[in-house]
């Protein structure tokens, strides 16, 4: 298939081409943690770039559980008009627009002042940065049931707002990924041990969401092809999970990889495997595609048209692009016109991998911030400067978030 051929999903809906703007964490919520004007401007720009599918950055299902202090939260309909405007802007040029819904589990910064939960009380191992994350509390059966309910409720609200689908985030070391990995899930009950038990929460959430939304509303999953940590979630596990998802009405699975501990999504693996410089996870996806019955998408490092075409030619249905679209939001439109830009950020050669990964993400976020203000991007920005700017912004937003949560606590007591 060609890069600009439409993709018909299992639900009968169509994605106009095979290029997806993969999720990136924007951290551009307003003071009430609803979509800000800056976020809307950013998605209008991406809509103008004519990718067939736009996946939002993390939308949190629980205000107490944030991947970042500027994250958007959708747990009630109070600001649904802002979400409707977001969907309208993003869909303005015909793209499918799916909301990525997520819970961080233990991957929530201690600076946000909230207690963290996880499948087991296992702390993150990030060397000198480990103290930035609290040891999580092991989730009870009541906690697990509440998380299931929240994912379903957020998906239902996303549909009401006009989004055309949701992506359930079960990758990158967040909560559902923590349940899948034997390194972070050490439970000995129905939610831990065997892979069938570790995948139970993801399957229950998918079933709940599929039952709560219309048949034409897309339900997708983001899944690690591997954790890239010894003893963690493996490619064989991923293949088995995709087989379990197959009968549940999943319209697409995006394959990525890694976590905060092993940030393979930035090209770094902790388990010794070397990742290709572009299309990091294509090798794993090819093996999985041999048995998958739903469309697959691969994200990770794609920035050249020929690589995106190679992904599609190899039997993968969608090519997910993240960082390159933070630099050049019009990339799909330019590729369609016959041009071949290959946007890239300034290389980071730091030996400290624990700092290099967040610096790379900060450099991409720096580009998104400029786009949201209508300014041209600066792909050659110093990674150190981008990280400094990002950290300063996060400190400001963390203080604002803590004040917002304090007001919510007072209001709930009145």
> Residue 351: what pLDDT?
82
Q: How far apart are CA 390 and CA 362, in angstroms?
A: 6
Of 298, 232, 236, 237, the residue nearest 261 (C-alpha): 232
Q: How far apart are CA 226 and CA 237, in angstroms?
A: 8
Cα torsion 104, 224, 360, 276 to 10°: value is: 170
Q: How far apart are CA 72 and CA 405, in angstroms?
A: 14
Which 8-state DSSP code applies to residue 380?
T
pLDDT tens digits for 55-103? Answer: 999 999 999 999 999 999 999 999 999 999 999 999 999 999 999 999 9
**Does residue 165 lie within any of the structural domains?**
yes
> Residue 354: what pLDDT?
73
> Residue 273: what pLDDT?
43
Of 115, 110, 23, 111, the residue nearest 62 (C-alpha): 115
> Residue 270: what pLDDT?
44
According to DSSP, the residues that pair with 168 across neighbouring strands are 101, 221
Copy the structure tokens of residue 201: 């929460």
Copy the structure tokens of residue 376: 């041209």
Q: How far apart are CA 65 and CA 108, in angstroms?
A: 7
- Which residue numbers in the chain have pLDDT < 70? 1, 226-228, 258-281, 414
Residue bearing tokens 């803590």: 402
pLDDT tens digits for 109-135? Answer: 999 999 999 999 998 887 777 788 889
Contacts of 95 (CB under 8 A, 6+ apart): 15, 16, 47, 50, 51, 52, 53, 54
**Does residue 83 lie within any of the structural domains?**
yes
Note whether 408 and 401 are within 8 A (CB): no
> Residue 279: what pLDDT?
59
**Does residue 363 lie within any of the structural domains?**
yes
Q: How far apart are CA 198 and CA 148, in angstroms?
A: 14
Residue bearing tokens 């219309």: 214
**Does residue 90 lie within any of the structural domains?**
yes
**Does residue 209 lie within any of the structural domains?**
yes
> Residue 256: what pLDDT?
84
The SS3 assignment for 201 reads helix
Residue environment code for 293-302, b if the CB has 16+ CB neighbours within 10 A, otherwise e: ebbbbbbbbb
**Burial of 409: CB neighbours in 10 Å, binned 0-12, 13-18, 19+:** exposed
Q: How far apart are CA 222 and CA 244, in angstroms?
A: 14
Domain that includes residue 360, residue range: 7-413
Quote the distance between the C-alpha of residue 71 and its chain's center: 12
pTM of the model: 0.94
| CATH number where 321 lies | 3.20.20.70
Helix (H) or strand (E) holding 298: strand 296-299
Of 357, 334, 353, the residue nearest 345 (C-alpha): 357
Cα–Cα separations (whole angstroms), residue 26 to 161, 172, 203? 20, 16, 28
**Does residue 2 lie within any of the structural domains?**
no
Q: Alpha-carbon Rg of the chain, whole angstroms? A: 20
Q: How far apart are CA 327 and CA 59, in angstroms?
A: 22
Cα–Cα separations (whole angstroms), residue 109 to 62, 103, 104, 180, 205? 15, 13, 10, 21, 25
**Does residue 1 lie within any of the structural domains?**
no
Of 15, 11, 23, the residue nearest 60 (C-alpha): 23
Copy the structure tokens of residue 234: 């493996």
**Does residue 284 lie within any of the structural domains?**
yes
> Residue 164: what pLDDT?
98
Helix (H) or strand (E) holding 248: none
The count of structural domains within the chain is 1
Beta strands in 14-77 (DSSP E): 14-15, 19-21, 53-55, 59-60, 72-73
> Residue 167: what pLDDT?
98
φ and ψ of 160, to 5 deg: -60, -35
Beta strands 19-21 and 59-60, pairing class: unpaired
């Amino acid at each position: 298939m060609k890069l600009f051929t439409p993709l018909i999903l299992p639900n009968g809906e169509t994605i106009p081409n095979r290029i997806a703007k993969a999720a990136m964490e924007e951290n551009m919520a307003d003071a009430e943690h609803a979509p800000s004007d800056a976020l809307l401007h950013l998605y209008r720009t991406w809509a103008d770039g004519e990718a067939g599918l736009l996946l939002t950055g993390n939308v949190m299902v629980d205000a107490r559980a944030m991947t970042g202090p500027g994250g958007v939260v959708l747990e009630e309909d109070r600001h649904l008009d802002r979400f409707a405007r977001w969907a309208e802007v993003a869909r303005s040029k015909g793209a499918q627009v799916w909301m990525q819904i997520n819970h961080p589990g233990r991957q929530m910064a201690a600076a946000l002042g909230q207690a963290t939960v996880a499948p087991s009380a296992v702390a993150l191992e990030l060397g000198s940065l480990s103290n930035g994350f609290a040891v999580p509390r092991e989730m009870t059966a009541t906690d697990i049931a509440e998380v299931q309910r929240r994912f379903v409720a957020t998906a239902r609200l996303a549909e009401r707002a006009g989004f055309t689908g949701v992506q359930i985030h079960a990758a990158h070391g967040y909560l559902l990924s923590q349940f899948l990995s034997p390194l972070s899930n050490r439970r000995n009950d129905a939610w831990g041990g065997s892979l069938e038990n570790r995948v139970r929460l993801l399957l229950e959430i998918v079933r709940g969401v599929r039952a709560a939304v219309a048949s034409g509303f897309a339900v997708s999953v983001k899944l690690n092809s591997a954790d890239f940590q010894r003893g963690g979630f493996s490619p064989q596990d991923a293949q088995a999970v995709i087989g379990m998802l197959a009968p549940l009405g999943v319209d697409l699975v995006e394959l990525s990889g890694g976590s905060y501990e092993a940030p393979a999504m930035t090209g770094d693996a902790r388990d010794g495997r070397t990742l290709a410089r572009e299309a990091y996870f294509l090798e794993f996806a090819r093996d999985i595609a041999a048995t998958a019955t739903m469309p697959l998408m691969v994200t990770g490092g794609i920035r050249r048209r020929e690589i995106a075409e190679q992904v599609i030619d190899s039997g993968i249905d969608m090519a997910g692009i993240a960082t390159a679209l933070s630099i050049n939001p019009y990339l799909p439109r330019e590729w369609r016109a016959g041009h071949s830009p290959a946007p890239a950020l300034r290389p980071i050669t730091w030996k400290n991998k624990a700092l290099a990964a967040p610096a790379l993400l900060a450099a991409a976020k720096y580009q998104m911030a400029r786009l949201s203000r209508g300014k041209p991007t600066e792909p050659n920005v110093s990674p150190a400067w981008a990280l400094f700017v990002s950290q300063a912004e996060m400190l400001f937003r963390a203080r604002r978030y803590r004040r917002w949560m304090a007001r919510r606590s007072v209001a709930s007591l009145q």
